[in-house]
């Protein structure tokens, strides 16, 4: 029996080998290359060359800083809006009958059937100066002049919330579904009102889903480039757009690498926050 177990364990590590090799070759090594290139000097055609220099990091935290700030700000705002919209929705779905639940979850996932790029282009048509929304508003006489909706930070926020809302709803749904509603009765019996029950009982017990949802929304939002590219114009430029530009025809790969490393660091920090919050939550 113990022989079999040992053999199974050995085979188990062998089974992990392809994945480990894959991660080392296609993730760890490229990441190290990006890190090295980010300290190189820009050469002809935008490639990195020696000598090493910290100038790209200086630029990242210099002129690019307001774009970093904007990216974090927009991603944080997206996360908050997704949470405010997604939590009640997830709660609603989780407390329905099985059939309604299934239909509702199906509807949440339905937009993924259409390519993200196409859906974002659709927002351009909706938000345009002569677009659907302005057409309705001016048609009803609610506004005199068409509103400038496209090419604003508002449009980027809308696009990001629209794009990532499901990532918030699904983990919260999973948490709420597992929540035992007899705790609510217990809280009420012990004299807590609805608000207190929610804040002290429901929210803490569904917090893992909330944290997972926030991480899943914040991380892709902070590096988004399709949404700000199509909806943001000059006002909604984000860090992803600037990274994208550095790798084109005559860009600056070392600068692009430095920007990517900084963005990865941001994502890493938010993941660490997630892990620590989760751990504290587990202990509590």
Kindly list the residues in this chain that would bind another protein in the complex (CB under 8 A).
42-46, 59, 63-64, 66-67, 124-125, 128-131, 148, 150-151, 232-237, 242, 245, 249-252
d(CA 65, CA 68): 5
CB of 240 to another protein, least distance (A): 13
Nearer to another protein, 198 or 247 (CB): 247
105 near 173, Cβ under 8 Å?
yes
- What is the three-class DSSP state of 64? coil
Any idea what the Cα angle at residue 229 is, between residues 236 and 132, rounded to 5°?
85
Closest CB 148 distance from another protein, rounded Å: 7
Q: Pick the closer one to another protein by CB: 2 or 234.
A: 234
User: Can you tell me the distance from the alpha carbon of 155 to that of 243, in angstroms, rounded to the nearest whole number?
Assistant: 21
- Minimum CB separation of residue 282 from another protein in Å reads 42
3-class secondary-structure state, position 32: helix
Least separation in angstroms between residue 247's CB and another protein is 12
Cis upstream peptide for 215 (omega within 30°)? no
Contact predicate 258/278, CB 8 Å:
no
Residues near 6 by beta carbon (within 8 Å), at least 6 away in sequence: none
Tokens at 257, concatenated: 């690498």
On whether the CB atoms of residues 254 and 37 are closer than 8 A, the answer is yes
Q: How far is the CB of 42 from another protein (least distance, A)?
A: 5
Q: How many Å apart are CA 83 and CA 247, to the nearest integer?
A: 34
* Nearer to another protein (CB atom), residue 92 or residue 121: 121
DSSP secondary structure string for all residues of 57-114: HHHHHTTTHHHHHHHHHHHHHHHHHHHHHHHHHHHHHHTS-HHHHHHHHHHHHGGGGS
Q: Which candidate, 256, 276, 262, 208, places its Cα nearest to that of 72?
A: 262
Cβ(217)–Cβ(182) under 8 Å?
no
Shortest distance, CB of residue 82 to another protein, whole angstroms?
Answer: 24
Which CB sits closer to another protein, 165 or 258? 258
- Looking at the Cβ atoms of 78 and 166, the one nearer to another protein is 78
Question: Closest distance between another protein and the C-beta of residue 29, in Å?
Answer: 23
Beta carbon nearer to another protein, 38 or 197: 38
Q: How far is the CB of 127 from another protein (least distance, A)?
A: 9
Q: How many CB atoms lie within 10 A of CB 4?
A: 8
Task: Return the number of the residue (39 or 87) whose C-beta is nearest another protein.
Answer: 39
Task: Specify the residue, 53 or 101, whose C-beta has the smaller distance to another protein.
Answer: 53
């Amino acid at each position: 029996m113990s022989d079999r177990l040992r053999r199974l364990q050995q085979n188990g590590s062998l089974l992990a080998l392809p994945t480990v090799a894959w991660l080392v070759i296609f993730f760890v090594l490229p990441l190290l290359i990006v890190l090295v290139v980010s300290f190189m000097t820009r050469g002809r055609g935008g490639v990195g060359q020696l000598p090493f220099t910290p100038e790209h990091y200086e630029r990242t935290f210099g002129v690019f800083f307001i774009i970093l700030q904007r990216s974090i700000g927009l991603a944080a705002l997206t996360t908050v809006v997704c949470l405010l919209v997604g939590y009640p929705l997830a709660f609603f779905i989780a407390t329905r009958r099985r059939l309604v639940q299934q239909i509702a979850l199906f509807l949440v996932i339905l937009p993924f059937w259409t390519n993200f790029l196409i859906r974002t282009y659709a927002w351009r048509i909706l938000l345009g100066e002569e677009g659907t929304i302005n057409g309705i508003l001016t048609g009803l006489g609610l506004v005199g002049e068409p509103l400038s909706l496209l090419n604003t930070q508002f449009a980027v926020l809308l696009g990001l919330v629209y794009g990532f809302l499901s990532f918030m709803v699904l983990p919260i749904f999973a948490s709420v579904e597992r929540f035992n509603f007899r705790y609510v009765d217990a809280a009420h019996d012990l004299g807590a009102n609805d608000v207190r029950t929610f804040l002290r009982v429901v929210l803490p017990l569904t917090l893992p889903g909330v944290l997972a949802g926030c991480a899943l929304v914040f991380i892709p939002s902070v590096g988004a480039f399709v949404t700000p590219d199509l909806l943001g114009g000059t006002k909604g430029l984000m860090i992803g757009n600037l990274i994208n530009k550095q790798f084109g025809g005559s860009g600056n790969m070392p600068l692009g690498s430095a920007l990517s490393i900084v963005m990865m660091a941001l994502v890493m920090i938010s993941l660490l926050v997630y892990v620590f919050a989760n751990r504290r939550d587990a202990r509590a």
